[in-house]
Structures are given as structure tokens and as C-alpha cells.
Structure 1
Amino acid sequence: MSLVSAILESLEKMVDENGWSSVKSVTLRVGAMRQVIPDVMKFAFEVSVKGTPMEGAELAIISVPIKFSCRGCGAHWGEEELGYLCPSCGGMEVDMEQGMELELESLEVQER
């Protein structure tokens, strides 16, 4: 619910700043590490937008898988080899390249 609240806060600000009459659809990119259950997020969104310019908007969620890279050998891997050690060299200098996203991908709006 806190993620939905943060999203709605941003959307309300955008609606006010741009003078849109309503938001028709919202597409989000959500990383796997956010542990979002799409159906639960959609339900929370639907309940939270009642009485706002987002009421009736369709929420689409694009799931972004986890991906890592090794600073030592340059290897890349994903969820299938989930771990914080490089599967190629065993190195511990690992970066998460993706998986924590919570990004607005696109909006469809109705202008005034």
C-alpha cells in the first residue's frame, strides 16, 4: 500500500502541474526485489484512486527480473543463479544491475 501511495502522490502532482482532467492508464516497471504481487498492487491502486483524477485508470505492471554483475571478472547473471557471489569467479564485488525499479513507464491522460 505504501508503494501505491507514493505512486499516487507523484501522479496527483503531475495531474496538477499539467492540467490533465484524468489519467486513463498507468504502466509501471517494478523490480522483482520489490516483492510486489501484481494483483494486490492493482487492487490497492483501484481502491486508492476513488474520487481522484485517476479513478477508473487501468494499471499495468511490467516485472523487471533481478540481474547482477561482477566487478572483478565482468560476468552477468540473473535470478536463476541468485546470490551475492559471482558464479564465474566466486568474487564478492557484485552489483545489482536491475531488480529494485519502481518506475513510471507510461501514462495515458485526458487533457482538459
Structure 2
Amino acid sequence: MHELSMVKAIIDALEELQDRNNWSSIRSVNLKVGSMRQVIPHILRFAFNASIERTSLAGAELIITPVPVEFSCRSCGGRWGEADLGYLCPHCGGKDVDMVQGMEMDIDSLEVEE
């Protein structure tokens, strides 16, 4: 269950932000999670809620925004996503591709109380 280690890192970052900015509480956390992270949202939410119970983050809501995979081709500039998932460009057949998004695990925004 790698979600628990992810939650630990998220909580550490949130507590650091809370201390540095002297917020009295964090009400909600908007987290962007790429689909290639292989995270199960309800398990991540459960682990988060269980881990914050007796901390300064108690009561904070975790909002998870999924980020689909998207690729781009260096040869033709074509872009494609999960519907055409693959490492060959569906536009030109090129092999020189980059994953543009899909591996994110970012705190996108917070609702805090000062």
C-alpha cells in the first residue's frame, strides 16, 4: 500500500507550510494525481483521514483531481492521451515521444484559516 507513504509525504509538506505561514488550520487540500501514479483515490483518502486524526490537520478534507496521461511527439508535435495510450505516435508512428502529464502528485491548492 504505497498510498500510506505518499500520505506521509503530503502531511509532512502540509505541516511545514502550516508552521511556516502560521495558519491556524488547513481546511482542505486539493491534490492533483496523475493516472500513471497508480493511486487508488479512496485508499489515499482513507489513509489521509486516518493519519491526520490527532494532528493539527485534523478535519482537513482531501480533494483529489485526477490528471490523465498525455504524450507528445518530438518528430511531428502530435499529442495524444489515454484513449490512444502507447509509446508510438498515432499521428506519424514516431518513437521519440515525451510524457507531458500523468505522473503528477502535486498539492494544487489549499483552503486555510489564518
TM-score by length of 1: 0.96
Measure how far apart 1:20 and its partner are: 1.2
1:91 alignment counterpart: 94
| Whole-Å separation in 2 of the counterparts to 1:105 and 1:65 | 15
2:50 alignment counterpart: 47
| Whole-Å separation in 2 of the counterparts to 1:48 and 1:63 | 22
- Aligned amino acid, residue 107 of structure 1: L
| Whole-Å separation in 2 of the counterparts to 1:67 and 1:7 | 24
Task: Pick from 9, 15, 20 the counterpart of residue 18 of structure 2.
Answer: 15
Matches within 5 A, 1:1-112: 1-111=4-114
Q: Which runs of 4+ in 1 moved over 2 A?
A: none
Secondary structure at 1:13's aligned position in 2? helix
| Whole-Å separation in 2 of the counterparts to 1:54 and 1:84 | 41
* Alignment RMSD (CA, Å): 0.8
| Whole-Å separation in 2 of the counterparts to 1:52 and 1:32 | 29
Aligned length: 111
Residue ranges of structure 1 left out of the alignment (5+ in a row): none
Measure how far apart 1:55 and its partner are: 0.6
| Whole-Å separation in 2 of the counterparts to 1:75 and 1:106 | 30
- Aligned amino acid, residue 45 of structure 2: K
Secondary structure at 1:51's aligned position in 2? coil
| Whole-Å separation in 2 of the counterparts to 1:84 and 1:109 | 41
| Whole-Å separation in 1 of the counterparts to 2:10 and 2:73 | 32
Percent identity for Structure 1 against Structure 2: 58
Measure how far apart 1:69 and its partner are: 0.4
